[in-house]
């Protein structure tokens, strides 16, 4: 129970931080914000790696973990790369 | 273990700093880089976790996923960004769903072997977190696939299934009962799989009834769900890194859906639980073609070129029609040409000008329009009264003065670009066909409006040529 309250505390505080930070993102950058947060939600890869690499589990569990790693990595690599591609377009214009 | 958790904390800090970097176009590329570094740290920290025993599947997954992601990121056209984000939302949801199922299968295996799992198989909070991770992940997965299909144009219209709300409520109820069952008897794996299946169906049902015009809200909302699913996975694994990152994404998606709703004068409830933008009753009162009869003034490129030549300030109000006609580059050419002749040119961006939040800005940035020329609605509206010529390019409902003046209009209250306040308004459009709202546009019959009919790209090319010849 103690651990749950700790985790909930972190969750709630992180939501507040999220609101604070994200309301400051200008509308011009809302599309990169969405693709960038796609990349961040790829953090599920942490769970995926733990599932795909665990010993002594069924092959079924390992394969689910493997698929999760693939999907999360698509999000991470694709998300950060496409965000960068867009942001370079905004940068280039200034000079 | 302590070092690993410290690494997750550093990753979370980097994500927050990265998002903070998105506060201005100048600092944004560096912010994005910080986020990527944070992710790399989180991945490395996980790989050295002693629970990870074999690397074959992990490395295979990382290689395959990275390759697919890189190819998608390189190939995607900027007009296709909404589709890509929709797909990525789905992938994020799917990853959380798969982790939940795999984690269950892993722990259940131990449980049956009478090894009491660390995760605390018997603890209800663990089961609840597992359920949330699986359900939100599943709804995000199928909901996103439907949203993607709609954006692709496969199922563009709002599809009304018979007894839709009853069906949704029924499925929701079944889901609740199954969840209660699972929390009481977490050793029943089959119940978890049934829950996942029902949630997948629910995801389809929730999005299929939503029309194309509301897609920006839906994508933003699913973006939020994909984050919340990751946060729920964090509760399952007791991992603060996942909880923090997931909630950041969750907050971001919610904020963007709220902004989109406000820009369309819709409530989130109305978007999700049905309801077309225009009710049947209002639809019956919408005037047809006779609305425009004899009141529309049309003109040619030369006439507009003369107006532009004599203007001091020109504002361009683009809508998605501009992107459909692939006219971004020629728009920038015209803007450039006018600026060289000493005309001040700005772009007025309505929040729903594109098909997702901020989409129009990216499309224009790609065409090398400097970002400081892109002015958002609230800032440009006071400037229209000092504008000589406003060019409306492929935008419709968001410029309709009826939303401001006519209390009986179905779109009354929707924030608009007040282009009608400028001295002259040039509307470039193929025909007088209505926009998403399905209503005629008061702007087109105003005294200070001139219609320039044709394909946006062709018309702009003519216009550019005409200005050069002056």
- The residue extents of the domains of chain A are 28-94
Q: Cβ B371–A28 below 8 Å, yes or no? A: yes
B221 to chain A: which residues are within 8 Å by CB? none
Q: Is 70 exceeded by the pLDDT of residue A86?
A: yes
% of chain A beyond a pLDDT of 90: 82
Q: Are A71 and B68 in contact (CB under 8 A)?
A: no
Pairing assessment for the beta strands B389-393 and B374-376 based on DSSP bridges: unpaired
A34 to chain B: which residues are within 8 Å by CB? 85, 219-220, 223, 252-253, 256, 356-358
pLDDT for the residue B114 = 42
Phi first, then psi, for residue B249 (nearest 5°) are -65, -40
Low-confidence ranges of chain B (pLDDT < 50): 113-120
For residue B221, what are its two tokens? 């909302």
pLDDT for the residue B111 = 59
Half-sphere exposure of residue A19: CA atoms within 13 angstroms, side-chain side: 7
Q: Are B441 and B409 in contact (CB under 8 A)?
A: no
Q: How many residues does chain A have?
A: 95
Residue B259 distance to chain A (closest CA, Å): 9
CA torsion angle B258 B37 B231 B175 (round to 10): 80
pLDDT for the residue B83 = 95
Q: For CA atoms B341, B300, B434, B209, give the dihedral sign.
A: negative
Chain B contact probe: residue of A20, A44, A86 with most B CBs at under 10 A: A44
pLDDT for the residue B258 = 92
Helix ranges (DSSP H) in B317-434: 320-324, 328-340, 359-366, 377-380, 402-405
Q: Are A62 and A51 in contact (CB under 8 A)?
A: yes
Q: Cβ B61–A67 below 8 Å, yes or no? A: yes
Average of pLDDT values for A85-93? 84
Q: Are B319 and B348 in contact (CB under 8 A)?
A: no
The reply to whether B397 belongs to the active site is: yes
pLDDT for the residue B411 = 87
Q: How many residues does chain B have?
A: 470
Q: Are B317 and B393 in contact (CB under 8 A)?
A: yes
For residue A20, what are its two tokens? 């604070």
Q: Cβ A68–B102 below 8 Å, yes or no? A: yes
Spatial separation of the C-alpha atoms in residues B100 and B82, rounded to whole Å: 27
Q: For CA atoms B44, B50, B55, B57, give the dihedral sign.
A: negative
| H or E stretch at B28 | helix B28-47
Please tell me the pTM assigned to this model.
Answer: 0.91
Spatial separation of the C-alpha atoms in residues A18 and A13, rounded to whole Å: 9
When pLDDT is cut at 50, 70 and 90, the band that residue A66 belongs to is very high
| Candidates A31, A47, A89; nearest CB to B99 | A47
Q: Which residue has the higher pLDDT, A91 or B282?
A: A91
pLDDT for the residue B137 = 97
pLDDT for the residue B377 = 94
pLDDT tens digits, B153-206 = 876 666 677 777 888 899 999 999 999 998 888 888 899 999 999 999 999 998
Report the candidate in B458, B152, B464 with the shortest Cα–Cα distance to residue B322. B458
């Amino acid at each position: 129970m103690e651990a749950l309250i700790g985790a909930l505390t972190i969750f709630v505080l992180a939501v507040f931080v999220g609101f604070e930070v994200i309301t400051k993102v200008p509308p011009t950058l809302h599309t990169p914000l969405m693709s960038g947060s796609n990349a961040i939600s790829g953090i599920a890869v942490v769970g995926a790696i733990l599932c795909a690499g665990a010993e002594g589990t069924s092959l079924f569990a390992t394969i689910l973990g493997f698929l999760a790693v693939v999907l999360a990595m698509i999000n991470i690599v694709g998300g950060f790369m496409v965000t960068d591609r867009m942001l370079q377009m905004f940068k280039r214009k200034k000079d | 273990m302590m070092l690993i958790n410290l690494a997750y904390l550093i990753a979370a800090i980097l994500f927050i700093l990265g998002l903070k970097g998105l506060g201005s176009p100048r600092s944004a590329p560096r912010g994005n880089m910080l986020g990527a570094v944070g992710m790399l740290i989180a991945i490395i920290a996980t790989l050295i976790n002693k629970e990870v025993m074999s690397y074959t599947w992990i490395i295979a997954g990382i290689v395959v996923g990275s390759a697919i992601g890189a190819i998608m990121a390189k190939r995607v056209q900027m007009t296709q960004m909404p589709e890509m984000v929709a797909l990525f939302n789905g992938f994020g949801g799917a990853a959380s769903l798969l982790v939940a199922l795999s984690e269950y299968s892993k722990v259940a295996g131990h449980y049956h072997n009478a090894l009491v799992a660390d995760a605390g198989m018997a603890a209800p909070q663990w089961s609840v977190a597992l359920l949330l991770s699986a359900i939100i992940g599943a709804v995000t997965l199928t909901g996103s696939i439907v949203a993607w299909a709609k954006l692709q144009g496969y199922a563009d219209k709002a599809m009304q299934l018979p007894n839709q709300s009853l069906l949704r409520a029924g499925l929701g109820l079944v889901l609740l009962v199954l969840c209660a069952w699972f929390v009481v008897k977490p050793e029943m794996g089959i119940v978890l799989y049934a829950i996942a299946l029902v949630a997948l169906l629910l995801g389809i049902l929730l999005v299929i009834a939503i029309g194309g015009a509301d897609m920006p809200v839906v994508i933003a909302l699913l973006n939020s769900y994909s984050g919340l699913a990751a946060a729920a996975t964090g509760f399952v694994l007791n991992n603060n890194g996942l909880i923090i990152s997931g909630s950041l994404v969750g907050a971001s998606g919610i904020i963007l859906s709220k902004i989109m709703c406000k820009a369309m004068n819709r409530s989130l409830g109305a978007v999700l639980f049905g309801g077309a933008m225009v009710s049947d009753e209002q639809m019956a009162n919408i005037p047809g073609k006779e609305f425009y009869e004899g009141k529309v003034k049309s003109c040619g490129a030369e006439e507009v070129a003369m107006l532009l030549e004599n203007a001091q300030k020109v504002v361009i109000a683009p809508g998605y029609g501009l992107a459909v006609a692939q006219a971004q580059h020629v728009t920038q050419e015209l803007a450039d040409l006018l600026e060289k002749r000493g005309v001040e040119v700005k772009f007025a961006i309505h929040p729903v000008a594109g098909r997702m939040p901020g989409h129009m800005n990216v499309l224009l940035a790609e065409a090398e329009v400097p970002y400081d020329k892109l002015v958002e609605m609230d800032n440009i509206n006071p400037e229209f009264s000092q504008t000589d010529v406003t060019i409306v390019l492929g935008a419709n409902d968001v410029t309709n003065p009826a939303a401001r003046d006519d209390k009986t209009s179905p779109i009354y209250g929707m924030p608009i670009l007040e282009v009608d306040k400028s001295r002259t308004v040039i509307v470039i459009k193929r025909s007088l066909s209505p926009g998403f709202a399905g209503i005629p546009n008061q702007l087109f019959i105003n005294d200070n409006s001139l219609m320039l009919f044709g394909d946006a790209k062709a018309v702009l090319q003519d216009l550019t040529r005409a200005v050069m010849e002056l």
